[in-house]
Structure 1
Amino acid sequence: MIRIARLPKTSLTGFRRADVRRVRQTNLRIAASHSVKACCRARFHSSVATTAVERDGFDQNGTQAEIQRLQHVRNVGIFAHVDAGKTTVTERMLALAGIVKHAGSVDDGNTVTDYLPAERERGITIQSAAISFEWGWHNNRSGDDFDANDNVTIALIDTPGHVDFSVEVNRSVAVLDGAVLVVDAVAGVQAQTETVWRAMTRPSLNNHATTEEVRDTSRRLSNQNDHAHEPLPCLALVNKMDKDGCHFGNAINSIKQKLPGANPIPTQIPIFQSSNKIPTSSLFSRNLVAVPVDDLSAETGQFVGVVDLVHMRAIVWPDHVGNVSNVEECVPQVLPLLKTGTRQPIDETCHITKAAMDARQEFIEAMAECDERIEEFYLNEQQPSNAELRAALRRATLAQKALPVMASAALRGRGVEPVLDAIADLLPSPLDRLPPALTLLDEGMAPTKSNATARTPGKRVTIGHPLHPTLLALVFKVVHMKGRGGSGDGRVVFARVYSGELRDRDTVQVISPPVLGEPAQKPRTERIGGMLELAGGTFGNLQEGVCKSGDVCALVNLKSVATGDTIMVAPRKQKKGKKVEPLFCLSGVASPKPVLTVRLEAESTEKQTRLSEVLTLLSIEDPSLVVEENDSVTLLSGLGELHIEVALDRIQRDKRLQAAIHLQLEPAWCHASPDSPCMILTDPAVTVSEEARSFLQVSEVATEEELVLKSVVFKALVEGCRGALKRGPLGPYSMANVRCHVVNVDAEEGLASLNAMPGALRAAAAHAISTLLTEHKSSCTILEPTMSVEVTLPNDMVGSVLSDLTGRRGTVGDVLVGEQEGYVLSKALLRGDVPLIEILGYATRLRSLTAGEGAFTAEYKGHSPASH
């Protein structure tokens, strides 16, 4: 008789996968005489909401609703190397969530998060952009980790992938709770992928408090004005699976080899439509094949779906060619592979099911190495349920023991829905993160212990914990938007609220982090003038006017706030003898040191003043830009050539320039016939007078089309006019049959200023036309297509058909009744004009009116004024 002894739960963590498999095959558990010590780096323990509250003794009266809200909040960033598809993935997420009707394209320059002109012209992300939306949480059902709730709120930040804009990555990492790392399916892990991975995992950016096992490291870093942080739990998305040369397994191997500490575990295997004949399956009608991760076959076909190894289901998207912007045309088909309530396959002969079952077994083996509960199932030769696997994968992801890997082709609209579900299922909520590390400031504003924690009477959660009532927020980004901000320079402040809440019109205290070797700045008191919604580059006012703990918000009317500042509630007047409330500050956001410097010169003293103002605003927005000014020279330093180039482009675009345009709009009628109201549509014509041509210094005899090709300024003028005429004042309809004549052009500093910034002339032309059309809206008419219709029908039914055509807003011109040798023919002919929309489905109606004996033909005649 063999006596089976039980291994300690922690012993198997040091075994290799082959060792675990050997233990299972022998079905023996050998009591080790010594514990197996795994070579593990110091890790951070993720806190859990309910246990954290119970452990810290927090009063839970009235907090259940707040806990429920926080459990359904996700602050997530999209990171990757340049051109890996981050913005495309983001745009597809927004389309799926209903934020936009059609997914934009980086090539077309119409994405939500790339809103700067320089971003749309270059096709790259320059500034990180935040946007918030809700997503239906498909896998959140009763019996899971959370109470049943079908919505999760995702605050998403799209970050740049170019190394010159790494400061955007640093400050995004500082306030996020989780990340999605996008990897190119062909190139795998690239240089900037490794850079952002270091930013997410090294203990120097996120400013979070640490556990006991790394407190010594935190204390050492604090002496250098830096703090340790809890690394970001992460998902990996292998994108561009539709490209030639893509390979899911090779991309995963590159993650394993090039990203230190990563343990990539594929939660999906890709499905391709093969050109080869596949054995018939009752589940799939197309020639579909699932390619395992370790399959090195070069020929895969077209990527059409994935197999979800957690839920054992196939997700197959429609077979479309090219970019599919409308999500309604790209709804996937979800096919379960196993019988309900059992582990038996629906179709035992299905090759995709067989590949999925093998891959799921490897997935369970990988999870057994990083989760104790799955380890128990594995050693007992039991199959965990889907919910148990999903919960284990979440635990491993939060503890950074696993990096779930998924597949997608975002440009074709495939594979993004499971990523949104995985964000809800696997990435942390604010309650799963440790509070930020704080620097305590005494009354003399001298920094003391960096690991000091604040405790209020009766509450043992620290300041910065989402359930703590005291306000603590970090400013991680500042931008200047004309027409916004309310501070004169359009300053909009982005902040992450860790604890407490911010409200519109609140008076707050702004604390800048102390600089090593310099005295700390005195806190400033400011008042919030308003809050904006997170919506990429277009911001509307936040209706509720409140931002709660765990959320990211945009604040206006804060005149002195800069990146890295801490926001706390303004102190109340203290009674004599009462202790003053302590002040804390977060450690701020690290900025890389500049590597390239250029010299700037202004033509005049007035322009130098304006240049200094613009550089000041730019350095506030981007702390990695360093400006040095003296009496003789202005130096601008940045992280690279592209960084400096973009900054100079911003300077050119943001200069104030006034342009004046005098123009006339008049109709250009083109009737189909003299006695008909129908018109043949013509595109708007733009003409420029000799006086305007003289100011622009272009030929007075050349055509407008010739000058558009020769002069940048003339092109800006014409395109500004044509662009404004693409949308009329009566709705989203382009103008037609109109002539725009530019009488004269003027500029504040002459033609030289327009040559430096032709966009100003384009904007002035567009604004002039829009204003003119709005003021004369009553002179405009909506035109609709009109058809010339001929109807043949029995003579005795002419009256009923005439009445029907009149009801369809038709105009009948001729009613012909034929005669031959003294008797009337049985057929009559009607001719008239009817709007196109009114004859849709008319064939059925005509057959009904004429007992099937009537027929009609229709031909486009022109456009006529709509009468409704």
Structure 2
Amino acid sequence: MKDISTYRNIGIFAHVDAGKTTTTERILKLTGKIHRTGEVHDGEATTDFMEQEQERGITIQSAATSCEWNKHRLNIIDTPGHVDFTIEVYRSLKVLDGGVGVFCGSGGVEPQSETNWRYANDSEVARIIFVNKLDRIGADFYRVVEQIKTVLGATPLVMVLPIGIEDDFTGIVDLLTRKAWIWESSENPEAYEITDVPDDMKDKVEEWREKLVETAVEQDDDLLEQYLEGNEPSIEDLMRCIRKGTINLEFFPTYCGSAFKNKGIQNILNAVVDYLPNPTEVKPQPEIDLEGNETGGVAIVDPGKPLRALAFKIMDDRYGALTFTRIYSGELKKGDNVLNTFTGKTERIGRIVEMHADSRQELESAQAGDIVALLGMKNTRTGHTLADANNPATLEPMVFPDPVISVAISPKDKAGMEKMGVALNKMVQEDPSFQVATDEDSGETLIKGMGELHLDIKVDILRRTHSVDVEMGKPQVAYRETITQLIQDSYTHKKQSGGSGQYGKIDYQIEPAETNTGYEFESKVTGGNVPREYWGAIEKAFQASMVEGTLAGYPLLDVKFTLLDGAFHAVDSSALAFEIATKAAYRQSIPKAGPQLLEPIMKVDVFTPEDHVGDVIGDLNRRRGMIKSQDAGVTGVRVKADAPLADMFGYIGHLRTMTSGRGQFSMEFSHYAPCPQNVAEEVIREAQERKAKK
């Protein structure tokens, strides 16, 4: 049986282009997993194996791999940095125990870094920090450390200091040992010497080491008391305190280097082993019932306990569907029958494989702490729990955001329709943030996602991977509707003409609910005028009606329905009768309740050279954007704004033109807000025209 204490399940995450895939490549080379590093800019990175990744130089999927360092097993997931693929980061963080946050030495804390950090905080994942690209023009380690404090609200625990910067960056000083690591070559990561601290850095090293020691000893009262009495803690005691504080999320050990130049990678690997938790040291996964309520039980990381495993990603490749799975407790063997607690059905484990990007190694079994891929799982989807059939329990499922953009697609010939349907079905299974629907008005196939790049990549995959040539329509915004007024009303459904009839009367109140609550239901019926057995049918019918608003047919948000009173008939009333009454009540009352159209507002983060900042702000204002902040950096200005998605289509091309190709931006969904009158009228008119063509 494997020693779980030597496991480290980690993710590497960052803003797009901060160097996380290059960092992963250097880790794999140093640990002997690969013998030649592939470069992202050449399209040869090991973990970027999709054609789209190799061409665009960005990571789209979360690639899984593993390696060994200092007799420890590292399961590594390299995640995307682009905001449209944030879902991959979220999925990965749900099943990891630790992470490495990579920050660009010149770019600092960039937009996607903030989003990833927030997700990691939500998942309570311990992290170390790597400030990369210190060989670049404009790099400043100390400025990035300060940004991590101010922008992320985090406590970086500086463990090393850079020797030189930009072209003069040659190595680092390890503050714990007071030793300098100098690399003789940028080609060979193992060509370095450990030597004394340069004379001109000695004072700075002592200053930063004192900060490190003061922060670390706060994790141990006895050690703190000894330190205050003038006793210097040993390196072993300091490492123990740093490990404790890191696992408790008190601070984040912070390193620096240049992955591209092969400098500083050993220090990251040592930190992963020394300070990040093994699977037994993290908060256990709570077990829940099928209604989503915690049972009080937890999945204990122990191969001898009943099986608890979470499927966190489905990937289709030439051998069939791979179900990436994190095993929290128990053991999985090839040929085992396991219970899918979501479907209630048992499934047989066909094969178990350990992944290395797109290659694999067959395994006979896997145990608690392992991240593996399973073959032969026909009905298992992302977020499903696999459990011991004789002792079942469900783990907390994953919750994914709703898409904010949709595009109509159609195959160029009729023969491609069936092929497109099969391909889209596979793609939906792989990516829960990607959805497919049929437009009821036009009959067109709609694909929905988190942004323009997200959908562009999906169409590219359709064309290349699945050989389906499709045409794309214009992007469509996912509007929503709500109400602004309280209405009290009554409706009676009566169909009695001899024999068994239908009867249901409801008195009700409809009113705006708190923002982001979606939907609330309450019953104030007393005395049995509407028997409790029908309340569920009434709630279900109203919720089902909210799928289509009365203004432009978009789903309704943030509405509270209160059942006040009503009446029933001992013979003719039924759940169906009250369902029909409720749906009719919806159509009767929502138009009277001040319906309002809502549009998705995006959090926009633009980086522009200083001489173009006026143009960028003016352009955002024309797009109905609201400027939130401007922050000047060494290489440009970062502008944060809220802007409606409807006015942001094609923005990247416009920004590049405006800034001579030097501007960058990212965008993620923030909230829904009321549409201006002129915009609402146009959207409603278009919806009515579509309906008239039906």
Distance apart, 1:370 and its partner CA: 4.9
User: Does residue 494 in structure 1 map to residue 338 in structure 2?
Assistant: no
Equivalence for 2:310: 474
What is the CA–CA distance in structure 2 between the aligned matches of 1:373 and 1:167, rounded to whole Å?
Answer: 44
Instruction: Name the CA shift for 1:300/1:195 in 2 (closer, same or farther; >3 Å).
Output: closer
Looking at structure 1, the residues matched to 222 and 185 of structure 2 have their Cα atoms a distance apart, in angstroms, of: 40
Q: Which residue of 2 aligns with 1:268?
A: 160
Correspondence 1:233 to 2:126: yes
Task: Give 1:546 deviation, angstroms.
Answer: 0.9
Match of 1:254 among 147, 159, 167: 147
CA contact (8 A) 1:367 1:374 kept: no
The letter for the 2-side match of 1:159 is T
1:509 corresponding residue in structure 2 = 339
Quote the Cα distance in structure 1 between the aligned partners of 2:169 and 2:345. Answer: 56
Per-residue deviation, residues 104-158 of structure 1 (Å, max 9, x unmatched): 100111111000000000000000001011112xxxxxxxxxxxxxx00000000
Offset at 1:540?
A: 3.2
Tell me how far apart the structure 1 counterparts of residues 206 and 283 of structure 2 sit (CA, whole Å).
Answer: 37
SS at match of 2:268: helix
Matched, 1:602 2:536: no
Question: What letter matches 1:556 in structure 2?
Answer: L
Q: How many Å apart are 1:365 and its aligned residue?
A: 2.1
1:314 equivalent to 2:180? Answer: yes
Where structure 2 has 5 or more consecutive residues not aligned to the other structure, the ranges are 470-694
Contact 1:114 / 1:537 at 8 angstroms: preserved in 2? Answer: no
What is the DSSP-based 3-state SS (H/G/I as helix, E as strand, rest coil) of the residue aligned with 1:186? Answer: coil
Match in the other structure for 1:334: 194
Give the conservation status (yes or no) of the 8 Å contact 1:504–1:528. yes
Matched with 1:566 is 385
Q: Is 2:162 the partner of 1:351?
A: no
Partners of 2:59 and 2:467 in 1: CA distance = 25
Structure 2 distance, partners of 1:331, 1:304, is 12
Distance 2:427 2:300 in 1: 30
Deviations 1:199-254 (A, max 9, x none): 0112xxx4xxxxxxxxxxxxxxxxxxxxxxxx011101100000011111100000
Across the aligned residues of Structure 1 and Structure 2, the Cα RMSD in angstroms comes to 2.0
Are the aligned partners of 1:529 and 1:556 in contact in 2 as well (CA < 8 Å)?
A: yes
Query: Structure 1's 355 and 657: CA in aligned 2 closer, same or farther, altered over 3 A?
Result: closer
What's the counterpart of residue 651 of structure 1? 462
Tell me the secondary structure at the aligned position of residue 174 of structure 1.
helix
Aligned equivalent of 2:234 = 385
In the alignment, does 2:93 pair up with 1:173? yes
Larger radius of gyration: 1
What amino acid is aligned across from residue 333 of structure 1 in structure 2?
Answer: E
- Aligned partner of 2:246 in structure 1 is 397
Q: Check 1:605–1:587 CA distance in 2 against 1; reply closer, same or farther (3 A cut).
A: farther
Is 1:190 matched with 2:105?
Answer: no
1:629 to partner: Cα distance: 2.5
Write the distance in 2 (CA, Å) between the matches of 1:271 and 1:195: 31
For residues 442-478 of structure 1, the C-alpha deviation after alignment (integer angstroms, 9 at most, x for no partner) is xxxxx3741421xxxxxxxx43433552100000000
Q: Would the alpha carbon gap of residues 638 and 657 (structure 1) be closer, same or farther in structure 2, given more than 3 Å must change?
A: closer
TM-score calculated relative to the size of structure 2:
0.65
Shift of 1:619: 0.5
Deviation for aligned residue 1:541: 2.2
Q: For each residue in 1:170-212, what CA deviation from the matched residue of structure 2 results, as whole angstroms up to 9, or x when unmatched?
A: 100100000110111111101111100110112xxx4xxxxxx
Q: What displacement does 1:368 show? A: 3.8
1:541 — aligned with what? 362
What 5-or-longer segments of structure 1 have no aligned partner? 1-64, 137-150, 207-230, 273-298, 338-348, 442-446, 454-461, 485-489, 513-521, 572-580, 659-868
SS of equivalent residue, structure 1 residue 452 = strand
SS of structure 1 residue aligned to 2:72: strand
Q: Distance in 2 between matches of 1:371 and 1:253?
A: 26
Per the alignment, in what secondary structure is the counterpart of residue 193 of structure 1? helix
How far is the alpha carbon of 1:300 from its aligned partner? 6.8
**Corresponding residue number in structure 1 for 2:52:** 118
Residue 376 of structure 1 is matched in structure 2 by: 225
Q: For the Cα contact (< 8 Å) 2:437–2:446, is it kept in 1?
A: yes
Q: Is the 8 A contact 2:337 2:349 kept in 1?
A: yes
Task: State how far apart, in whole Å, the 2-side matches of 1:613 and 1:424 are.
Answer: 44
Structure 2 distance, partners of 1:648, 1:533, is 29
Query: Does the 8 Å contact 2:135/2:166 carry over to 1?
Result: no
Total equivalences in the alignment: 467
Q: Distance in 1 between matches of 2:173 and 2:223?
A: 21
**Are the counterparts in 1 of residues 134 and 166 from structure 2 also a CA contact under 8 Å?**
no
Which amino acid is 1:71 matched to? S
Alpha-carbon separation, structure 2, partners of 1:180 and 1:399:
16
User: Is this contact kept in 1: 2:21–2:59, CA < 8 A?
Assistant: yes
Residues of 1 paired with 2:395 and 2:467: CA distance?
36
Alignment of 1:750-761 (within 5 A): none
Going from structure 1 to structure 2, the CA distance change for 1:612 and 1:369 (only over 3 Å counts) comes to same
Q: Are 1:435 and 1:464, in contact at CA under 8 Å, matched by a contact in 2? A: yes
Distance change (3 Å), C-alpha of 1:448 and 1:116: closer
Is the contact between residue 217 and residue 241 of structure 2 (CA under 8 Å) also seen in structure 1?
no
Q: Distance in 2 between matches of 1:160 and 1:245?
A: 24
| SS in structure 1 of the partner of residue 423 of structure 2 | helix
Could you say which residue in structure 2 is the equivalent of 1:130? 64
Shift, 1:312, TM fit = 2.1
1:375, 1:79 → 2: CA distance? 34
- Could you report, residue by residue, the CA deviation over 1:651-708 in whole angstroms, capped at 9, with x for unpaired residues? 00122599xxxxxxxxxxxxxxxxxxxxxxxxxxxxxxxxxxxxxxxxxxxxxxxxxx
CA separation of 1:168 and 1:396: change in aligned 2, threshold 3 A: same
**Alignment check: 8 A CA contact 2:419 2:468 kept:** no
Superposed displacement of residue 506, structure 1 = 1.0
8 Å contact from structure 1 (residues 177, 429) kept in 2: yes
The 1:531/1:336 distance shift into structure 2, 3 A limit, reads farther
Measure, in 2, the Cα distance between the counterparts of 1:612 and 1:413: 46
Name the counterpart of 1:90. Answer: 24
Q: Is the 8 A contact 1:364 1:374 kept in 2?
A: no
Which residue in 2 is equivalent to 1:612? 421
Q: Which amino acid aligns with 2:160?
A: Q
Q: 1:584 and 2:390 equivalent?
A: no
Q: Which amino acid aligns with 1:557?
A: G
Change (3 A) 1:399 1:104: same
**Matches of 1:378 and 1:627, distance apart in 2:** 62
User: What is the DSSP-based 3-state SS (H/G/I as helix, E as strand, rest coil) of the residue aligned with 1:533?
Assistant: strand
**Partner-residue secondary structure (3-state), 2:75:** strand
* Greater share of residues in strand: 2
Bigger mean CA offset, 372-381 vs 115-124: 372-381
Q: Distance in 1 between matches of 2:299 and 2:105?
A: 43
Secondary structure of the residue aligned to 2:27 is helix
Q: Aligned AA for 2:134?
A: M
1:23-52 deviation line (CA, Å, top 9, x unaligned):
xxxxxxxxxxxxxxxxxxxxxxxxxxxxxx
> Equivalent of 2:402, from 558, 577, 593?
593
Q: Which amino acid aligns with 1:559?
A: K
Counterpart contact for 2:292–2:396, Cα < 8 Å: no
Normalising by the residue count of structure 1, what TM-score does the alignment of the two structures yield?
Answer: 0.52
Q: Return closer, same or farther for 1:656/1:645 CA change in 2, 3 Å cut-off.
A: closer
**Which residue of the partner structure matches residue 286 of structure 2?**
437
Other-structure match for 1:708: none
Matches within 5 A, 1:71-90: 71-90=5-24
